[in-house]
Amino acid sequence: MKIIKRNGAEVSFDVQKIISAVRKANNEVSVDNRLSEDQINTIAEKVSALAGDLNRAVSVEEIQDFVENQIMDQKAFAVARKYITYRYSRALVRKANTTDERILTLIECNNEEVKQENSNKNPTVNSVQRDYMAGEVSKDLTRRLLLPRDVVEAHEEGIIHFHDADYYAQHMHNCDLVNLEDMLQNGTVISGTFIEKPHSFSTACNIATQIIAQVASNQYGGQSISLTHLAPFVDISRRKIRAEVAEELADVAVMEDTINRIAEKRLREEIKKGIQTIQYQVVTLLTTNGQAPFVTVFMYLGEARNEREREDLAMIIEETLNQRIQGVKNESGVWVTPAFPKLIYVLEEDNVREGSRYWYLTCLAAKCTAKRMVPDYISEKKMLEYKVDRNGEGHCYTCMGCRSFLTPYLDENGKPKYYGRFNQGVVTINLVDVALSSGGDREKFWKIFDERLELCHRALMCRHNRLKGTLSDAAPILWQYGALARLKKGEKIDKLLYGGYSTISLGYAGLYECTKYMTGKSHTDPDAKPFALSVMQHMNDKCKEWKAMHNIDFSLYGTPLESTTYKFAKALQQRFGIIPGVTDKNYITNSYHVHVTEQIDAFTKLKFESEFQQLSPGGAISYVEVPNMQDNIPAVLSVMQFIYDNIMYAELNTKSDYCQVCGYDGEIVTVEEDGKYIWECPYCHNRDQSKMNVARRTCGYIGTQFWNQGRTQEIRERVLHL
């Protein structure tokens, strides 16, 4: 069994430390109030058993809570007072400096909490450590100076989660849709250098990667770009290449068709090199936060403005899919699955049925999904139903990063606008805690729910007000040079924070466990489903109320819990103990999802979750867990066609692993050792994480740097839906 110390370091459990601590408190009271040695040993044994029952690494604070309770159970109240007093005095000493020890253990790679915080950051790398060090300082400032005390306490207790506190001290926003079209067509400035409109497709791709890196370094969330914005440069290259070929063959009698055929072949090569530039630069670039840019690439034929552009866009999409199917080489020279860029493919009438014009692209996308877990799929049909503007017209567009969606918006000319917009930030409510705090009383539940939502409302306004007054000079690439706006130097970004131009997100987690506790049933049960839907509707109503109050687009967001799923689970166990079916896991369920252990088929799951996804307009994604589908592409296509007809945004989760020790390329599994989940090659039993490549869908995006124990247990317990 492992213990997590206050500085984040993980050590082996030592029962003698409990005995020693109780003895010290025991020796400070009068003889007639003291515990016997047998009682002290009993306390130690019971604490050991309670910690072991949690089936995870236990924090020092949890151990101390267990000790206090066990001393009380022995009726040794004088000893308990001494123990509590000593614990309190040590806590006061620690409060004098909250960051030094955590930073030092981080640098020495002993901080298990930080090491497992982000599945796409390698905590042994200097650039990541530097970002984490800055993050620890930012969190300390945020806790002590920048946020109201009740918000901080609720965050620390796991009642809510104030996301990205490690960036809150700076005036930074969450995620966005990069206006790549404006930057490429009208020029931009990078590091003080003016970048003109590119004169070829390959140059446009190269500039795009530089823009991606700059944007990633000036925000903390995901960004999305559209391949449509690169498509016009294909024809620019075509004309340029054709002129070169014609000049080369000027002295040779050749047909016009021959010149065109040679030019088109060279154009294909340029497209290949351009897409290769994007793929390899994205996975090899390190931004200032120590990771590859969290970027999503959007592939939507319906965005093309004319027939030529549509055909060129199809070529770009085809090349993008082919290169992702191939993957990237790891340090051993083996082709593996990269985490980024994330790909999204739009299913539409022109590509979703056999015999449709771009069916070949959809078949390629299915092959890519089976091999590399991407692309994810947006149904144009369902999105046009859901994302309707004030004039009643539907729109189809990409999310920002892994799932955060903007609300429909029309500019001053009445035209739809999505690229250049952003999200201000997220605060998530722990729905399971609301339910457990009510004790199952429905009237009390709604009262506590409203109190917690108001707390989230105030916390979200803290996020908004932190951005308010920010000068465009804080991030010129974003606010001055086209990624999000073309503001003047010294101009405030305030006008972009109101009127629906940007959004701010109320996140939620644990709808399944909340419903399970309040009704005794899963929300998939017809008797429990109405309660679950009423919870979702209530949060939407609150967002609408706040929007009217502030003229800010509050939007309900299905939080992609990564490390927070473990944090919430531990907090619930500390506050309410182990409740079967509710708090007996080291994770809670993401957003509205069906519980990962529930037996349900892919089509039933997607159909059921579609109702909840519609009530999560600020962002949500559904998934189905599938086995290796590389030899069953027709089944993948069937799921994709079902997505098109039934749900707006979904993905298929498979496995894509490789053992560098023995060359095994099947599924790397988890085994339990000393109360901890360890990744192991089933063939050679290699357990060295530095010598294996494991890729898993974490919560809407692919993680490749391993996960905390809560998320690892959740991945381990997922059942197949197909």
Enumerate the active-site residues: 174-175, 400, 402, 404, 423, 557, 562, 700
Tokens representing 648 are 């707006």
CA 165 to CA 582: how far, in whole Å? 28
First-to-final CA distance of the chain: 36
Question: Which of these, 409, 405, 356, lies nearest to 376 by C-alpha position?
Answer: 405
Residue ranges of the alpha helices (H) in 142-255?
149-156, 180-186, 201-216, 232-248
**What angle is formed at CA 672 by the lines to CA 669 and CA 677, rounded to 5 degrees?**
70
C-alpha Rg value of the chain to the nearest Å: 27
10-12 and 2-4 strand pairing? antiparallel
Number of helices (H), then strands (E), belonging to the chain: the values are: 24, 24
Tokens representing 464 are 């908004």
- In eight-state DSSP terms, residue 416 is B
Cβ-proximal residues to 233 (8 Å cutoff; 6+ apart), any chain: 184, 198, 200, 201, 203, 204
Q: Is the dihedral of CA 554, 623, 668, 279 positive or negative?
A: negative
Tokens representing 388 are 């309707």
Question: Which of these, 567, 637, 643, lies nearest to 609 by C-alpha position?
Answer: 643
**What angle is formed at CA 17 by the lines to CA 16 and CA 19, rounded to 5 degrees?**
60
Tokens representing 463 are 């996020």
The burial of 190, by beta-carbon neighbours within 10 Å (0-12 exposed, 13-18 middle, 19 or more buried), is given as: middle
Q: Specify the residue for token string 């098109």.
A: 644
What angle separates helix 60-73 from helix 37-53, to the nearest 10 degrees? 130
CA 443 to CA 285: how far, in whole Å? 53
Tell me the β-bridge partners of 471: 492
Report whether 644 contacts 669 (CB < 8 A): no
User: How far is residue 419 CA from its own chain's centroid?
Assistant: 21
Tell me the β-bridge partners of 394: 388
Q: Specify the residue for token string 């309707």.
A: 388
Phi/psi at 677 (5° precision) = -85, 130
User: How far is residue 315 CA from its own chain's centroid?
Assistant: 30
The burial of 178, by beta-carbon neighbours within 10 Å (0-12 exposed, 13-18 middle, 19 or more buried), is given as: buried
422-430 and 335-336 strand pairing? unpaired
CA 36 to CA 611: how far, in whole Å? 60
CA 225 to CA 483: how far, in whole Å? 10
CA 579 to CA 584: how far, in whole Å? 6
Tokens representing 276 are 């290769």
Neighbours of 185 (CB within 10 A): 16
CA distances from 159 to 404, 561, 722 (A): 22, 14, 35
CA 463 to CA 250: how far, in whole Å? 64
**What angle is formed at CA 43 by the lines to CA 37 and CA 46, rounded to 5 degrees?**
140
* DSSP per residue, 676-689: EEEEE-TTT----G
Report whether 511 contacts 622 (CB < 8 A): no
Tokens representing 457 are 């409302």
